Structure 1
Amino acid sequence: MTIDPMAEVVQLLRLGIRFSKLVECSGSWKIHREGTGDPFYCTVLDGRCHLTTGGQPTTILQAGDFVLVPAMHSILNESPDGPEDGTTMEPIEIGDGRFRVGNVDAPADLTMHIGHCHFASPDANLLVQLLPNVIVAHAAPRLAILMQLIWDETSARRPAREIVLERLLELMLIEAMRSGGEMASARGLARALADNRLSAALRAVHARPQHPWTIAEIAEEAALSRSAFFTRFSRIVGVPPMEYLLAWRMALAKRLLCNRELGLEQVAERVGYSSASTFSVAFARCTGVTPARYGREVRATSFSFVPPSPP
């Protein structure tokens, strides 16, 4: 069976939506938001604007463009001719899920579909570092279709709404990573999978996480020398090979620990540890809690309801 590392990471992140809204802007305007580190996406339906996120270079967006920020800590969005005094504005709600910025009586110069999400995975911090800081896709019709479907689903109250949204958001993340046009120099999993040598190594590791991998063996999968592989992997993925392997094993272990049917020895074996004791030491070092305690805590809270944040 062929293993797809990108699909595995996306599924394990468990992307969910907090809220989605349609924003119309007119005249000169500027919006600044501090984020919580959660995912943010934006697609421009009409018009142009400037977007700056987390100290990254400013991006010029126009109709058909899409942006995804896997971990948004700050965002500055403004018109091409921002306010001379630099004053930021607050969006005004004008309807169900619709907001206005700038002159409410003037025609809109820009229309955007904006969404704020969250990762339900307990390993979000580990996995997000495998994604680019910012994904930009210019003239992305497939993403535009997905955005419309997400907007329709968030606006309605249909049966199985949460499941449908989760699948649509997974598709959005995968499509963004596949079509992002400004990731040639961005570190992360998507760029590594576009590299034939690193892709072979990643697929091997994901196919057999239980194997007692050494860096020499992983380098052999990539048909590279150990030193060349280490340098190339670290530069493109953003973390050293064995650190990546450890993070992936811990992510898999957390998922397996939530399964009541598996004992500690079985979990340890499936993620590449020779005994439950060596696995427990490694898990506690990475997470700060023992595997047994982690499993109990997650199962106790797995059915708790967390209401979405307001826009």
Structure 2
Amino acid sequence: MPDPLADVVSLLKPVPSISKRVTGGGCWIVEGDAGGSSLYCAMIEGSCVLRPAGRAPLRLAAGEFVLVPELFGFACTSLEPPGAGAARAPLELGPGVIRLGDPDAPADTVMLVGHCGFSSPNRDLLVALLPDVAHVRGADRQATLMRMIDDETRAGRAGRDMVLVRLLEVLLIEALRATADTGASPGLIRGLADPQLGVALREIHADPARPHSVPALAGAAAMSRSSFYERFRGKVGIAPMAYVTTWRMALAKGMLARKEAPIAEIAQRVGYGSASAFSAAFARHAGLPPGAYAGAVTGAGTEIAAEAGAG
């Protein structure tokens, strides 16, 4: 059977960005804007408070891990934040090594912090399926993975970029599946944690071209239509057929970006009986018909490659 969580993380195409070892002493605060990237943090020693914009503050203690799939403005402080005007700028002690607070005070907080982006053209569709925040206690596995990411980031070994991408994929999956039973916000993780809904979600991922319907998915989940619909919407956050369409569009965007097949064939692969029906549905979701979208994605990729070459 397919693994919807692995499908989504793989399709997101995580791209490593920043990896830091951060220590803090005394009272400190750091603020910033992550620009919508993903933040992950493993607390090694001490405690701190993370305040993501628009979300409740999180108190993080040693042995805990947090993942915010999409972060914009944020503040992170010692348990007792500094008074007004007392904040010090972060001090870079070396490549990827940051000191917060009084540099002469004993370091009572140690954390590994990283950011990553998602290069998938489906980014917005897929991030919406993830919980707002994944907060894991007893996070030894996540901390180990972060140490490996930190080590790989600083080493110049062959295959570095490929190793980092694979480590990030494993880290994201570990963090997300660890929050399945912790009251995470509605999304794919809560749906998969439900044994009956998990069956329906795997049916969708196993064969997106099948003519899925609420009665058929409810039957696969051994539930009545009404109970299935309400539970799916409550735990996954969207209605069953909206999820089907979201997943089909995510797959179609990837195939169009890769120019994997003619539009008529892509339409069949994702469950549409005709290219015209697919084009209309795709335009509603992407704002562009499939052909124009494929051209726009290819053009954007060419510009990025040219900029990289110029740099």
**2: CA distance, partners of 1:285 / 1:9:** 22
Give unpaired runs (5+ residues) of structure 2: none
Q: Matches of 2:276 and 2:28 in 1, distance apart? A: 58
Deviation of 1:5 (Å): 0.5
Q: Distance in 2 between matches of 1:168 and 1:300?
A: 30
> Secondary structure at 2:98's aligned position in 1?
strand
Q: Provide the C-alpha distance between the structure 2 equivalents of 1:219 and 1:306, rounded to a whole number of angstroms.
A: 49
**Aligned counterpart, 1:3:** 2
Q: What SS does structure 2 have at the residue aligned with 1:36?
A: strand
CA contact (8 A) 1:50 1:79 kept: yes
Q: Could you say which residue in structure 1 is the equivalent of 2:13?
A: 14
SS in 2 for 1:72: strand
1:18–1:116 Cα contact (<8 Å) kept:
yes
In structure 2, distance between residues paired with 1:202 and 1:264: 26
**8 Å Cα contact 2:87-2:101 kept in structure 1:** no
For residue 289 of structure 1, report the CA deviation from its aligned partner. Answer: 1.3
Query: Take 2:282 and 2:64, find their aligned partners in 1: how far apart are those partners?
Result: 41
Q: Bigger CA drift: 182-191 or 9-18?
A: 182-191
Deviation at residue 123 of structure 1 after TM alignment: 1.1
Alpha-carbon distance between aligned partners in 2 of 1:12 and 1:150, rounded to the nearest angstrom: 20
Residue aligning to 2:120: 121
Answer whether contact 1:22 1:97 (CA < 8 A) is retained: yes
- What does 1:235-246 align with in structure 2 at a 5 Å threshold? 235-246=234-245
- Native 8 Å contact 1:14 1:121 kept in 2: yes
- The farther-off stretch of 24-33 and 85-94 is 85-94
Deviations 1:195-217 (A, max 9, x none): 01110000001111001111221
For 1:95, the equivalent position in structure 2 comes to 94
**Does the C-alpha gap of structure 1 residues 172 and 140 become closer, same or farther in structure 2, counting only changes over 3 Å?**
same
Distance of 1:239 and 1:181 partners within structure 2: 17
Query: Contact 1:136–1:182 (CA<8 Å) still a contact in 2?
Result: no
Residue pair 2:133, 2:184 contacting (<8 A) in 1 also: no
Question: Residue 87 of structure 1: CA displacement?
Answer: 5.1
Which residue of structure 1 lines up, in the alignment, with residue 170 of structure 2? 171
Matched, 1:286 2:285: yes
Q: CA deviation at 1:89?
A: 4.1
CA–CA distance in 2 between the matches of 1:116 and 1:49? 18
Q: In 2, are the aligned partners of 1:51 and 1:59 still within 8 Å (CA)?
A: yes
* CA RMSD between the two structures: 1.9
* Structure 2 equivalent of residue 151 of structure 1: 150
Whole-Å separation in 2 of the counterparts to 1:9 and 1:106: 44
CA contact (8 A) 1:30 1:87 kept: no
CA shift for structure 1 position 86: 7.3
Give the aligned residue type for 1:28.
Answer: C
Tell me which residue corresponds to 1:141.
140
Query: Secondary structure of the equivalent of 2:36?
Result: coil
- Once the two structures are superposed, residues 105-148 of structure 1 have per-residue CA deviations (whole angstroms, 9 ceiling, x without a partner) of 22211111111110101111111111110001112111111001
Q: Quick check: 295-304 or 61-70, which moved more?
A: 295-304
1:84–1:182 CA distance, 2 compared to 1 (3 A): farther
Q: Distance in 2 between matches of 1:90 and 1:183?
A: 35
Q: Do the aligned partners of residues 60 and 261 (structure 1) sit closer, same or farther apart at CA in structure 2, a change above 3 Å counting?
A: closer
Most deviating of 240-249 and 268-277 = 240-249
CA contact (8 A) 2:68 2:134 kept: yes
2: CA distance between counterparts of 1:23 and 1:36? 20
Tell me the TM-score normalised to structure 2 length.
0.93
- Supply the distance in 2 between the matched residues of 1:192 and 1:133 (Cα, whole angstroms): 15
- Quick one: distance in 1 between partners of 2:93 and 2:140? 28
Work out the percentage of aligned pairs sharing the same amino acid.
Answer: 43
Unaligned runs of 5+ in 1: none
C-alpha displacement at 1:164, in angstroms? 0.9
2:190 aligns with: 191
| Mapped contact 2:38–2:69 kept (Cα < 8 A) | yes
Query: Closer, same or farther in 2 for the Cα pair 1:210/1:87, shift >3 Å?
Result: farther
Name the residue aligned to 1:36: 35
Compare 293-302 and 233-242 and name the one that shifted more: 293-302
Helix, strand or coil at the partner of 2:15: strand
- TM-score, structure 1 as length reference: 0.93
Q: Could you tell me whether the CA contact under 8 Å between 1:132 and 1:187 is conserved in 2? A: yes
Aligned to 2:59: 60
C-alpha distance 32-307 of structure 1, shift in aligned 2 (>3 A): farther
